[in-house]
Amino acid sequence: MVIFGAGGDLTKRLVVPALYNLTKSALLPQPFALIGVDHDEIDANAWRKDLHDFLEDQAKHGGDEFEAGAIDEQSWNRLAATMSYVPGDFTKAETFERLKSHLAERDGKEQLHGCALFYLAVPDRFFGPIVEALDRAGLTAESTGWRRVVIEKPFGHDLESAKALNARVLKHLREDQVFRIDHFLGKETVQNIMALRFANGLFEPIWNRDRIDHVQITVAETIGIELRGKFYEATGALRDMVPNHLFQLVAMTAMEPPVSFDADAVRAKKAEVFRAVHPLVAGDAVRGQYGASTIGTGTVRAYRDEPNVASGSFVETYVAIRLCIDNWRWAGVPFYLRTGKRLPKRWTEIAIRFKDAPYMLFRDTPVDALHDNWLVLQIQPDEGIRLRFSAKRPGPEMALESVAMDFRYADWFKQAPAVGYETLLYDCIQGDATLFQRADQVEASWAVVDPLLKAWNVPPADEFPNYAAGSSGPSAADALISRDGRAWRAIG
Ligand code: BG6
């Protein structure tokens, strides 16, 4: 495995910790070699040390995804022993020539069978040039073993650029050599949506417009944009989260059952969802930007005061969308999506609201309102599934109360801590592309948001900032859903 961007944040925070977890669980294929490529003139020892120190620090201070305590040095040493480093500029042919002879040398010594996975953990402007350079150096040719390329997000920044990038990449690689990653698909709970729907006979018969009133998908974050001002100014919440992460959740929830779990069968069904979605126009969506606020004892600065953000920026940090899927299953069932930075809680859920009972059996009793039936797939934190329904409160009177049946992963499974990339890395090494995006799916997703991106090129009519950090988002988002006689669920 060759990581371009070996010195970057993604490698340090996600890719190498995931490789470490795979080593610990003895899931890395053997033999295995890890080669880092980056412009820093360092050696393999310095690279190893930097990664080790980060892991150790995370283990001590316990990030969400890391096991608290010390790292398992034995596992780390096993991984560290596979690591080597090739310094070089991604835009220079000589880097690829050097990489080629380094690969050949390790392949000869360690019997790697000519297989190589090239992981592009680099800014998107390098995706095209690196793929071209790999091809030019003969590194994508599958003479003895497979050759694959993992491409990170963002895959394009609108429909046109995504199409151009696909065309550029597919000039040099076959579609089955390209693994376009969306880390949401690495989350256990996201993968579990398919198990819930298609491994049970219980849900599918009611998973349609006959029984479902609407669906709400929330991806709320408490963090601001941290030190990514430059990136975020060019991106905004819509591009950063919607055609990728939120649409993965939509696809899993809305797709038709595939004929098999074969990668192409599953991906074809997902792509179909977006072909049935109306392209979004300005009236289907609300944008917001957070303003300063006091949260607890600290003050949080406004988006416009973050480093590398323009003082008059109208880039959105919040999006709410009303999406319609025009097919037999979903016609008339709106999907309301929202995501934002600086919301009150880190909270990702898919909430399915079932229709009310057809008539009020309890009308001659003190019961004057029925409680809503919800099936909530909690993606993070406290991963689980909850079903809410009405039950009779004990006592002589007929009184109903909303109660819940709960399944929590943490209670049921002894879950190993994971950064979410383990499954994805494992799958691309195995050549299983089910959890990766195919070119047509990426383009179909961009096609849905493209008109909205264009409409949002001009400043909003609403004054920005329009929501306070720590609040649930702009009031216009409430209006978007209340227009249909519905309301957002509380975040958290
Ligand atoms: C990334 C976005 O792709 O996903 C970030 O660029 C966002 O802005 C992150 O914070 C959310 O991922 P997770 O796994 O923390 O929910």
Average pLDDT across each block of 10 residues of the chain; the chain has 492 residues. List them in order.
Answer: 96 94 92 96 96 89 64 94 97 96 94 95 96 97 94 95 98 97 91 94 96 98 93 96 97 96 94 95 96 89 97 97 97 98 97 88 64 93 92 85 91 75 94 95 96 94 92 97 97 94
Instruction: Find all residues with CB under 8 Å of 210, minimum gap 6, and list them.
Output: none
Residues with CB under 6 A from ligand 1: 153, 183, 221, 240
pLDDT reported for residue 364: 61
The pLDDT of residue 102 is 97
Residue whose CA is closest, atom 9 of ligand 1?
Answer: 241
Strand runs (DSSP E) across 79-225, as ranges? 83-87, 116-120, 147-151, 178-180, 212-220
**Is residue 90 a contact partner of residue 129, using CB atoms and an 8 Å limit?**
yes
Return the residue matching tokens 């001009």: 458
Residue in 222, 240, 317 to alter for ligand 1 test, most ligand atoms within 8 A of Cβ: 240
User: Which protein residue's CA is at the shortest distance from atom 10 of ligand 1?
Assistant: 221
Protein residue with least CA distance to atom 5, ligand 1: 240
CA 241 to chain centre: 8
245 catalytic per annotation: yes
SS3 23: helix
Is 76 in contact with 70 (CB distance < 8 Å)?
no
Give distance in angstroms: CA of 22 to centre of ligand 1: 22
Q: Which of 52, 183, 214, 245 is catalytic?
A: 245
- Determine the pLDDT at residue 420: 82
- Rounded to a whole number of angstroms, the CA Rg of the chain reads 24
Which structure tokens are listed for 198?
């298609």
Q: Residue 156, by phi and psi: left (phi above 0), alpha (psi -120 to 50) or beta?
A: left
Distance 102 CA to ligand 1 centre (A): 34
The alpha carbon of 182 and the centre of ligand 1 are apart by a number of angstroms equal to 10
Which protein residue has the closest C-alpha to ligand 1 atom 6? 240
Return the structure tokens found at 366: 């003190």
What pLDDT, on a 0 to 100 scale, did the predictor assign at position 396? 86
The rounded Å distance from CA 275 to ligand 1 centre is: 25
Residues 115, 34: contact at Cβ < 8 Å? no
* Residue appearing with tokens 């090494």: 429
Q: For 232, what's the count of Cα atoms within 13 Å in the CB-facing half-sphere?
A: 23
**CA 364 – ligand 1 centroid, Å:** 50
| 114 backbone φψ class: left, alpha, beta (φ>0; ψ -120 to 50) | left
The CA distance from 329 to 204, in Å, is: 11
* Distance between Cα 429 and ligand 1 center (Å): 24
Sequence letter at residue 268: A
The phi and psi torsions of 154 (rounded to 5 degrees) equal -85, 135
The tokens of 384 are what?
């689980």
DSSP annotation of 244 = I
Residue with tokens 């300005």: 282
Instruction: Please choose from 221, 231, 233, 242 the residue to mutate so as to test ligand 1's pocket, defined by most ligand atoms within 8 A of CB.
Output: 221
> Is the alpha carbon torsion for 322, 323, 327, 328 positive or negative?
negative
Q: Which atom of ligand 1 is nearest to the CA of 221?
A: 10
The DSSP bridge pattern shows strands 2-4 and 116-120 to be parallel
| Residues 6 or more apart in contact with residue 233 via CB below 8 angstroms | 308, 309, 310, 313, 315
Which amino acid appears at position 459 of this protein? P
H-state helical runs in 431-474: 439-455
Phi-psi region of 431 (alpha: psi -120 to 50; beta: other; left: phi over 0): left
| Residue 305: burial class (beta carbons within 10 Å; 0-12, 13-18, 19+) | exposed
Atom of ligand 1 nearest to the CA of 240: 6
- 190: tokens are 């996201």
